[in-house]
Structure 1
Amino acid sequence: MTTPSTGPIGLDPNEPAPIKAVPLRHPGQWIAAAIVLVLVGLFLWGAATNKAYGWDTYAKYLFDTRILSGVGYTLALTILAMIIAIVLGVLLAIMRLSPNPVLRSVAWVYLWIFRGTPVYVQLVFWGLFPSIYKRIDLGIPFVVQFAHFDIQAWNAAFLFAVIGLGLNEAAYMAEIVRAGVSSVGEGQSEASVALGMSWRQTMTRTVLPQAMRVIIPPTGNELISMLKTTSLVAAVPFSLELYGRARDISGVNFQPIPLLVVASTWYLIITSILMVGQFYLERYYSKGASRQMTARQLKAMAAAQNAPAMTEGGEDAR
């Protein structure tokens, strides 16, 4: 029921009429999506019907025991190298932040060398390590030696590959950790010290949990990058990892394309799993840092806004 002067009963005549919002249409987005789907479909159809891909060979070797062994070696190289990189990277970051100029200089020179030379060149040097240092003696220089190691007798290509990858990655992890620790305000550390916390407690309970928000994303990227960098350990030489196994098999059956697709498939599978783990780890350490308010916070804010404003005497200001 309505009246000529007031409009619908129950509505304030002084209030403006409600706006009927019409969503803005984006026909360009639908056209672009259709074009992309068509292109993807054409590519998949062309790949499926192209005999050069050798899909029968792909299916034969996807779960071959040699390929699965290569996946295991690739994961071992990645995990062990990243452990070395993280431990040494934290140490180098502390040295970079130290007030001691000697420690800062040593850390800077390390970063300058390992970040300034290609990882492939470094791996070649590690492969030539037994030729450069045929024997290592431990003891007091020019006086007495307690132990002797014949490096040339070692068959340790895997060990040298892990060391080469880990030492190179440590230079990048040091900068990531340093940036994460530096992102935490000094007031956080000062407040922890004022509460009676020791340096270890301050780092583990205050600084590092907040720094992890900055450290985790680039560390996840470096882990994925390390997974793919293991394909370069042929320079050591070490050829038992995933790409090396695929290359060896293709050298026998003369079908490199399907074996490359096999290796790429496994790299994508492992990378996808790592990306999922990185997502949940980032979400865990970002608690309390998100700008999106929870339902409880929204209710509290609404209650505070609807509460009557009080004067200094405690009376309703309205």
Structure 2
Amino acid sequence: MAVYYELWKPMLRAGEDLSFWQEFFVYFYQAFLENNRWLQYLEGMGTTLLVTAMALVLGIALGLIVAMVRTAYDQQRPGQSSSLTRCLMWPVNFLCKVYVTIIRGTPMMVQLLIMGLVIFKSSRNFTMVGALTLGINSGAYVAEIIRGGLMSLDPGQSEAGRSLGLGYIDTMRFIVIPQAFKAILPALGNEFIILLKDTSLITVIGGKELLYAAQGIYGRTYEQMFPLIGIACMYLALVMVFSALQSRLERRLRQSDRR
């Protein structure tokens, strides 16, 4: 293959007529095979998956905490909670609402630039800064998804748990959240797919993921189509795998409901 590349590349540069497949081969070879450039894509994909995993864990943790706080505050009924409890929960609920409002009301790109160029301007670990920013951003959306699922359940579910002597945390853990999870799984899956694709944005602060690898390659070859289409196909493959795993989980949950 290298022999054909070395033969056809000078001809292409000289403007000689080559067939479509000869031009395709030259551009493909220089984008993926020359100097083992495919290793750069693999390294970028590894960084993409790492950032996605870290942001996913952080987003779920933040989203679950914020959703539980806001749900507990919204579901308080007069006479069931002491005035002291309501006073203590109000500032925490207010902070959660401010967090969700700010994160959902500002663009992801702006948040990344603020985190990378202002808050962590002295840090050189751009990948971790990007993962932290994506996790914080995702947490706000996950919080609203989970809160919607929790609020959609019959309040009698929580009351039944309390009547059995379970505290709020145990009631949410063993009764409410398992039921809400089935309802919110499609929305959560969609959010996680968006998170995977949003990892491409960390390149603006120097994160070395897939888009960064493609930019480095077409900056040397001066041919943008193949590197960009290549990483687009890689993102598509990752999303398809994630979607297949989500569909399999949904089928298992449906099967457990029938038993």
CA shift in 2, pair 1:212/1:198, >3 Å: same
The residue that corresponds to 1:205 in the other structure is: 174
Query: Structure 1 residues 58, 155: CA separation in 2 closer, same or farther (over 3 Å shift)?
Result: closer
Alignment of 1:155 onto 2:124: yes
Q: Does 1:70 align with 2:38?
A: no
TM-superposed CA distance for 1:268, in Å, is 1.2
Q: Which runs of 5+ in 1 are unaligned?
A: 1-47, 134-150, 295-318
Counterpart contact for 1:209–1:285, Cα < 8 Å: no
Give the whole-Å Cα distance in 2 for the aligned partners of 1:204 and 1:179. Answer: 16
How far the C-alpha of 1:115 sits from its partner, in A, is: 0.5
The residue aligned with 2:222 is 254
- Deviates further, 276-285 or 74-83: 276-285
Alignment pair present for 1:106 and 2:95: yes
Contact 2:66 2:143 in 1 (8 A): yes
- Report the Cα distance in structure 1 between the residues aligned to 2:111 and 2:139, rounded to whole angstroms: 13
Higher strand share: 1
- Higher relative CO (Cα under 8 Å, sequence separation at least 6) belongs to 2
Asked if 1 retains the 8 angstrom alpha-carbon contact of 2:193 and 2:242, the reply is yes
Q: CA deviation at 1:181?
A: 1.1
Aligned length: 223
Instruction: Give the partner amino acid of 2:224.
Output: P
Query: For residues 118 and 200 of structure 1, what CA distance do their matches in structure 2 show?
Result: 33
TM-score by length of 2: 0.78
| RMSD of Structure 2 on Structure 1 (CA) | 2.5
CA-CA distance at 1:95 after TM superposition: 2.2
When normalised by structure 1's length, the TM-score is: 0.64
Instruction: Report the structure, 1 or 2, having the larger helix content.
Output: 2
- Gap runs ≥5 in structure 2: 1-19, 74-88
Q: Percent same amino acid among aligned pairs?
A: 32
Query: 5 Å matches for 1:1-318?
Result: 51=23, 54-57=27-30, 60=33, 64-99=38-73, 100-129=89-118, 152=122, 154-238=123-207, 240-287=208-255
Q: Distance in 2 between matches of 1:120 and 1:286?
A: 38
Compare CA radii of gyration and give the structure with the larger one. 1
In the alignment, the residues of structure 2 paired with residue 77 and residue 265 of structure 1 have an alpha-carbon distance, to the nearest angstrom, of 19
Is the CA contact (8 Å cut-off) linking 2:200 and 2:210 kept in structure 1? yes
Mean alpha-carbon deviation: is it higher for 173-182 or for 193-202? 193-202
How far off is 1:157 after superposition?
1.2
| Aligned equivalents of 1:164, 1:182: Cα separation in 2 | 27
